[in-house]
């Protein structure tokens, strides 16, 4: 018995499906709002400013809690000192979509 490629009739091929709509639907079913996350990330970069921004990344957003990861503990401590200012800047920029709490982690 020799190997033969599986034959397929040309009329049974389906055109490729666009992933964008499917991805948005799946993320919506999981409760993830990509647009809200993008807006928060941009607002967070602006609120942190050029000195702090490069040292943090948005890891998670659940309800009113934004979890950030710092690249060193010194930056996490620095942000902890300015937490209320950053939250106020996020409220001013995002309104009701702003997180009410920042949770900080270090890599």
Instruction: Tell whether 2 is covered by a domain.
Output: no
Q: Where does the pLDDT of residue 12 fall: very low under 50, low under 70, confident under 90, or very high at 90 and above?
A: low
pLDDT one-digit tens code per residue, 15-46: 777 776 777 777 777 767 788 888 999 999 99
DSSP code per residue over 23-70: HHHHHHHTT--HHHHHHHHHHHHHHHHHHHGGGEEEEEEETTEEEEEE
Asked if residue 66 belongs to a domain, the reply is yes
Q: What is the CATH number of the domain that holds 40?
A: 3.30.300
What domain count does the chain have?
Answer: 1
Containing domain of residue 74, as a range? 32-106
What pLDDT score does 47 carry? 96
In a domain, 52, yes or no: yes
């Amino acid at each position: 018995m020799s190997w033969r490629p599986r034959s397929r009739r040309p009329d049974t091929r389906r055109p490729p499906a666009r992933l964008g709509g499917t991805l948005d639907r799946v993320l919506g079913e999981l409760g993830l709002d990509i647009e809200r996350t993008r807006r928060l990330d941009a607002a967070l970069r602006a609120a942190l400013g050029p000195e702090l921004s490069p040292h943090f990344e948005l890891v998670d957003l659940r309800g009113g809690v934004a979890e950030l990861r710092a690249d060193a503990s010194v930056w996490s401590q620095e942000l902890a000192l300015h937490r209320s200012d950053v939250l106020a800047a996020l409220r001013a920029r995002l309104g009701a979509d702003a997180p009410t709490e920042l949770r900080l982690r270090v890599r």
